[in-house]
Structure 1
Amino acid sequence: MTTFREALALLGTSVPDHLTADAEVPVLAGPQAQGDLLVFRRAAPATVEWLPLPAGGLRLVHGEATGNTHWLHAGFGSDGVRWARSTAGPPRLALLHVPDGQTALLIHTDEHGANGIGPGTYAIHRKRELSIPSTAETVTEVRLVTD
């Protein structure tokens, strides 16, 4: 099992004082959330171009409100993890494929810890929020949640 300290070390970042360094990173294979990101299992489109994750990880979202970043990283000993750019447009950021026996890590540099992502194929999305003024009956604005 990977600890939060080990996950952040992949990014060259230390654990903030308010978080537990030796907390185990859970590995989940179902829907999950981390701050302003959502991860859902899904089948990959037939035409997807899978790429290896960069050795230093892939920055998915730079926290607009806090400056903290969400990173996608291959888990330890998980060389087969692949990602693909999404052509679906916002709010979908990327697709992720984790082979059997491997993991990926979704790491937040300060606030939300880290999530382990188990084997499967996933879509990674930004959260959205709807604005409905009290005088209106319909949604007037859809915007991305900023972390």
Structure 2
Amino acid sequence: MMITLAALSTRTGRAFDDHLDRSLTIPVLDGIQAQGDLLVIPAHLLETSPEPDAGWRPVPPEGLVLLDGVHPHVLVADPGTCLSTDGPDGPVFTATAPVYLMHPEHGATGLAPGRYAARRQREWRKTVPLPVVD
């Protein structure tokens, strides 16, 4: 199913910044994706991934904040299609249908069904990781 920024905004009650075209259709992709300071990585590309008995919970209809820097990165899914849990390095989610990541400034991106890990982008300075804030 193809969805627009306007439909996601109506569905979640979350707004996008004025510079974004609400009629844009959001593509659904299955690879590594970046949205500002958030990276989303297919779990099969990671060394380890939490197992299904690791406290999985459904993504609520209004969405789930994966990362809240200056603006929230919100995971949105149809009811019953996505479960999330806290992994050792950040949120992990598994979806049986396309899901979407919303951000007020960056718009939205679609993720194909599968298991993903969310990671905050970091900068390395003098061997110390610093979180990127977007």
Normalising by the smaller structure, the TM-score range is: 0.7 to 0.9
Match of 1:117 among 111, 120, 124: 111
List gaps (5 residues or longer) in structure 1: 133-138
Report what 2:56 is aligned to.
50
Report what 1:144 is aligned to.
131
Q: Give 1 or 2: higher helix fraction.
A: 2
Shift of 1:117: 0.9
Q: Is the 2:12–2:61 contact (alpha carbons within 8 Å) kept by the matching residues of 1?
A: no
Summarize the alignment of residues 55-66 of structure 1 with structure 2, pairs less than 5 Å apart. 55-64=61-70
Report what 1:130 is aligned to.
124
Summarize the alignment of residues 1-147 of structure 1 with structure 2, pairs less than 5 Å apart. 1-43=2-44, 44-46=49-51, 47-64=53-70, 68-75=71-78, 79-86=80-87, 88=88, 92-99=89-96, 102-108=97-103, 110-132=104-126, 139=127, 141-147=128-134
Report what 1:135 is aligned to.
none
Superposed CA RMSD: 1.6
Cα distance in 2 for residues equivalent to 1:41 and 1:13? 26
Shift of 1:57: 1.0
Q: Is the 2:99–2:111 contact (alpha carbons within 8 Å) kept by the matching residues of 1?
A: yes
Shift of 1:63: 2.6
- How many residue pairs were aligned? 128
Question: What secondary structure, in the 3-state scheme, does the structure 2 residue paired with 1:7 have?
Answer: helix
Report what 1:136 is aligned to.
none
CA displacement 1:8-35 (0-9 Å, x = unmatched) = 2222134432111111111111110101
Q: Give 1 or 2: higher strand fraction.
A: 2
List gaps (5 residues or longer) in structure 2: none
